[in-house]
């Protein structure tokens, strides 16, 4: 049974709540993958029967296919053509590879001296071997001067360590994905900065950051009682970069039972790694529960729910908030939560300027984790190109008791369904890096803490801003909510030289409460971003 409530939170933004039981299919295991640099696919997707797939050209077995003329228009037309056919059965690798354990799979390593583009400047591309949870091979093509050539399987590109069982000499499993390297931290080191592997998942890092959250090409029926559908990239086309290029292009074909798509990623690694994403989608069926530019992350606990975990660390999360700039220009910040029941929030807007899952806590002391180094996890920021029209930014928060599960999803959901047989195009810029803050004229919330009031009768929230908001200005708090707000206090934090805002509310007889806070001047103009939160019992 679903429960849905709607409350207007701010200009042009509203929130709704949905609750229903959560199964393991919503959660994806992450830490063991992070530990050796793999991408973060949804294990629920990879553990299901393989996604149906129609090969572009055969890259396993038989003769090597002939090169063919290739460009973006060719890929779009290929996706359009596939959408008119039924979704066929996918190829999967033999048991010799699908039965590999985690340790066995990590003992298969791509040889660095076999990297693609070694003769074309500072970019390198490596291929991933299939196996373990990566059981569906993908087609990989090298594109040079408008011609695509298939990269057929070559076992000599890999070193097979002692943990890997003996593999038949004639085995031909193909590849499972691709990663890119470039000197983003030091000029003499080719750092891994982007990975495409597993369903339609991909991820990236900027300078001085480590892999954390992921993105996807497309989300379908996320947090839907009918079950989620996981589209997959089934073919990659790697453009060979120019010798002195600072950008590199990879294109991908996407397939699922409900849709096909063509994707082009123009990637520029650096302080922030920036991807210009173009997509052309073709609906096989009407797409009503669709998520565009989806992001996936993990939030276990911080000062909001610290009391629920017996852990030596101060916080555990890859992202700590959803940041939004609405079409009207308002900046919103919604701290993440790990609720007791599945929560789905929708922030309605028209032509949003940007949204993303961000990691604001950047000090080691915020976490005290010498292994995970959560303070180095990147933020991801989506900037629509063109008018995306009406819809909502959807935030999904899934209960979890382990940091090995990704339990946060955010995406854009258009109001109008994509009709069966229709073509839908979108473009956006996706940036990965340390910070994508509101303009400097607005204070932002650096930390959110919650607990019981001193007398134990009410809930208390404490917001620490990143500056002294009231310095030289007639400023005051603006706090509202669906619960009765009391004891609102704003004062200067003399220890940090910033502003602290606190308030309380009675949670008696409440299952949930929508809360909103900001700091305004005497005329009511915003001096800070708008803080939003959903408290749940």
Q: Do residues 475 and 366 both lie within one domain?
A: no
> How does pLDDT run across 285-306, given as a tens digit for each residue?
999 999 999 999 999 999 999 9
Mean predicted lDDT score pLDDT of the chain: 89
pLDDT for res 41:
39
Question: Does residue 439 sit within a domain?
Answer: no
Any idea what the CATH number is for the domain that residue 397 is in? 2.70.98.10
Phi-psi region of 290 (alpha: psi -120 to 50; beta: other; left: phi over 0): beta
Domain-ending residue, one of 433, 468, 499: 433
Any idea what the CATH number is for the domain that residue 519 is in? 2.60.40.10
Question: Does residue 277 sit within a domain?
Answer: yes
Q: Do residues 491 and 412 both lie within one domain?
A: no
pLDDT for res 63:
62
> How does pLDDT run across 34-45, given as a tens digit for each residue?
444 443 433 434
> How does pLDDT run across 52-105, given as a tens digit for each residue?
333 444 444 456 789 999 999 999 999 999 999 988 777 888 888 889 999 999
**Confidence tier at 46 by pLDDT (50, 70, 90):** very low
Q: Which of 273, 436, 272, 304 is nearest to 359 (CA)?
A: 436
Question: Does residue 438 sit within a domain?
Answer: no
pLDDT for res 33:
47
> How does pLDDT run across 12-26, given as a tens digit for each residue?
344 444 444 444 444
**Confidence tier at 5 by pLDDT (50, 70, 90):** very low
pLDDT for res 10:
36
Residue 382's SS3 state is strand
In the chain, how many domains are there? 2
Domain region containing 477: 445-536
- Residues near 204 by Cβ (< 8 Å), separated by ≥ 6? 193, 194, 195, 267, 269, 273, 275, 378, 432
DSSP string, 113-129: GG-BTTTSSS-EEEEEP
> How does pLDDT run across 200-240, given as a tens digit for each residue?
999 999 999 999 999 999 999 999 999 999 999 999 999 99
pLDDT for res 472:
81
**Confidence tier at 171 by pLDDT (50, 70, 90):** confident
Q: Do residues 395 and 456 both lie within one domain?
A: no
DSSP string, 128-179: EPPBTTB-S-BEEEEEETTEEEE----GGGEEE-TTSPP--TT----B-EEE
Domain-ending residue, one of 403, 433, 463: 433
> How does pLDDT run across 353-390, given as a tens digit for each residue?
999 999 999 999 999 999 999 999 999 999 999 999 99
Question: Does residue 126 sit within a domain?
Answer: yes
Q: In terms of residues, how long is the chain?
A: 537
| Contact criterion met (CB below 8 Å) for 358 and 385 | no
Strand extents, DSSP E, 183-231 = 191-197, 201-204, 214-216, 219-220
| Cα separation, 492 vs 63, whole angstroms | 73
Q: Do residues 196 and 324 both lie within one domain?
A: yes
Question: Does residue 341 sit within a domain?
Answer: yes
Q: Do residues 147 and 36 both lie within one domain?
A: yes
Question: Does residue 166 sit within a domain?
Answer: yes
User: CA-based angle 305:392:299, to the nearest 5?
Assistant: 25
- Answer whether residue 172 shows pLDDT above 50: yes
Question: Does residue 461 sit within a domain?
Answer: yes
Q: Do residues 93 and 126 both lie within one domain?
A: yes
**Confidence tier at 48 by pLDDT (50, 70, 90):** very low
* Mean pLDDT, residues 504-517: 95
- Answer whether residue 163 shows pLDDT above 70: yes
- Answer whether residue 123 shows pLDDT above 90: yes
pLDDT for res 1:
30
- Answer whether residue 276 shows pLDDT above 70: yes
pLDDT for res 35:
40
Question: Does residue 440 sit within a domain?
Answer: no
Domain-ending residue, one of 400, 433, 466: 433
- Answer whether residue 264 shows pLDDT above 80: yes
Assigned token pair, 52: 């149906």
Q: Do residues 376 and 472 both lie within one domain?
A: no
Task: For the chain, give the percent of residues with pLDDT over 90.
Answer: 79
Distances (CA, A) of 164 to 100, 169, 266, 416: 8, 14, 36, 50
Q: Do residues 400 and 428 both lie within one domain?
A: yes
pLDDT for res 26:
41
Q: Do residues 333 and 467 both lie within one domain?
A: no
Q: Could you tell me which residue, 376 or 10, shows the higher pLDDT? A: 376
Alpha-helical regions (H) of 322-385: none
pLDDT for res 4:
33
Q: Do residues 135 and 222 both lie within one domain?
A: yes
Q: What is the DSSP letter of 457?
A: S
Q: Do residues 411 and 494 both lie within one domain?
A: no
- Answer whether residue 109 shows pLDDT above 90: yes
> How does pLDDT run across 419-437, given as a tens digit for each residue?
999 999 999 999 999 989 8
Q: Could you tell me which residue, 39 or 327, shows the higher pLDDT? A: 327
Q: Do residues 20 and 82 both lie within one domain?
A: yes
């Amino acid at each position: 049974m679903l429960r849905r409530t709607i409350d207007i939170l701010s200009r042009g933004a509203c929130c709704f709540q949905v609750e229903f039981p959560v199964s393991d299919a919503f959660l994806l295991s992450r830490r063991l993958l992070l530990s050796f640099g793999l991408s973060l696919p949804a294990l629920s997707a990879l553990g299901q029967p393989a996604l149906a797939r129609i090969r572009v050209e055969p890259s396993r077995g038989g003769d090597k296919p002939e090169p063919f003329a290739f460009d973006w228009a060719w890929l779009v037309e290929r996706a359009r053509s596939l959408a008119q056919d039924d979704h066929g059965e996918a190829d999967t690798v033999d048991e010799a590879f699908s039965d590999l354990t985690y340790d066995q799979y990590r003992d298969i390593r791509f040889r660095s001296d076999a990297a693609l583009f070694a003769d074309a400047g500072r970019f390198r591309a490596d291929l991933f071997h299939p196996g373990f949870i990566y059981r569906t091979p993908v087609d990989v093509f090298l594109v040079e001067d408008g011609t695509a050539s298939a990269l057929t399987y070559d076992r000599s590109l890999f070193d097979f360590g002692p943990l890997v069982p003996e593999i038949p000499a004639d085995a031909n499993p193909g590849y499972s994905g691709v990663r890119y390297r470039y000197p983003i931290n030091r000029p003499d080191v080719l750092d891994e900065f982007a990975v495409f592997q597993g369903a339609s998942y991909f991820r990236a890092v900027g300078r001085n950051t480590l892999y954390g959250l992921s993105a996807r090409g497309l989300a379908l029926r996320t947090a839907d009682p009918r079950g989620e559908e996981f589209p997959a990239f089934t073919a990659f086309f790697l453009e060979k970069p120019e010798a002195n290029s600072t950008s590199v292009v990879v294109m991908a074909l996407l397939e699922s039972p409900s849709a096909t798509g063509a994707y082009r990623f123009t990637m520029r690694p650096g302080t922030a790694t920036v991807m210009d994403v173009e997509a052309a989608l073709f609906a096989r069926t009407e797409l009503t529960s669709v998520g565009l530019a989806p992001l996936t992350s993990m939030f276990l606990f911080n000062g909001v729910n610290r009391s629920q975990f017996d852990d030596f660390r101060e916080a555990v999360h890859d992202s700590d908030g959803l940041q939004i700039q609405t079409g009207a220009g308002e900046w919103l910040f919604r701290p993440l939560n790990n609720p007791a029941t599945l929560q789905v929030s929708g922030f309605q807007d028209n032509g949003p300027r940007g949204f993303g899952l961000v990691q604001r806590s950047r000090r080691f002391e915020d976490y005290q984790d010498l292994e995970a180094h959560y303070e180095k996890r990147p933020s991801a920021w989506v900037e629509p190109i063109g008018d995306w029209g009406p819809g909502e930014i959807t935030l999904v928060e899934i209960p979890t008791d382990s940091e090995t599960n990704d339990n946060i999803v955010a995406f854009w959901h258009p109001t109008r369904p994509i009709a069966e047989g229709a073509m839908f195009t979108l473009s956006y810029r996706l940036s990965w890096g340390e910070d994508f803050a509101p303009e400097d004229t607005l204070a932002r919330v650096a930390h959110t803490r919650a607990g019981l009031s001193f007398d134990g009768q009410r809930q208390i929230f404490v917001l620490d801003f990143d500056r002294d908001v009231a310095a030289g200005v007639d400023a005051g708090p603006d706090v509202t909510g669906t619960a009765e707000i009391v004891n609102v206090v704003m004062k200067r934090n003399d220890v940090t030289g910033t502003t602290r805002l606190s308030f309380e509310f009675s949670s008696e007889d409440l299952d949930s409460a929508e809360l909103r806070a900001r700091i305004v001047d005497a005329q009511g103009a915003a001096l800070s971003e708008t803080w939003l939160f959903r408290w749940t019992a």
